[in-house]
């Protein structure tokens, strides 16, 4: 399992594009410089009134397929 940490700041208005299906993927740059692309739907549980903000860790399996994502405190 490989882990990457990244910071995310998406306003509620911007996330509507993902939620409505206009945009299906989110691409981020991890703190180590790796670019990661994953389905936007994986962030739905983190959406608040002001959008999605914070530091997250994404875990990928040995085939670089999505395994999990969590928000760090």
Query: What CATH number is given to the structural domain containing 58?
Result: 2.40.50
Domain range enclosing 28: 2-71
Take residue 42 and report the two structure tokens written for it. 């994986």
**pTM attached to this predicted model:** 0.87
pLDDT tens-digit series, residues 3-51 = 999 999 999 888 877 767 677 889 999 999 999 999 988 998 998 989 9
Euclidean distance between CA atoms 57 and 37, whole angstroms = 13
Give the number of domains in the chain. 1
The dihedral built from the CA positions of residue 36, 42, 46 and 50, taken in this order, carries a sign that is positive
């Amino acid at each position: 399992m490989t882990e990457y940490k990244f910071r995310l700041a998406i306003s509620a208005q911007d996330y509507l594009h993902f939620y409505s299906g206009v945009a299906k993927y989110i691409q981020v740059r991890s703190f180590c410089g790796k670019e990661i692309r994953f389905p936007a739907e994986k962030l739905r549980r983190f959406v608040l009134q002001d959008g999605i903000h914070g530091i997250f860790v994404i875990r990928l399996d040995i085939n670089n397929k999505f395994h999990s994502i969590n928000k760090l405190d």
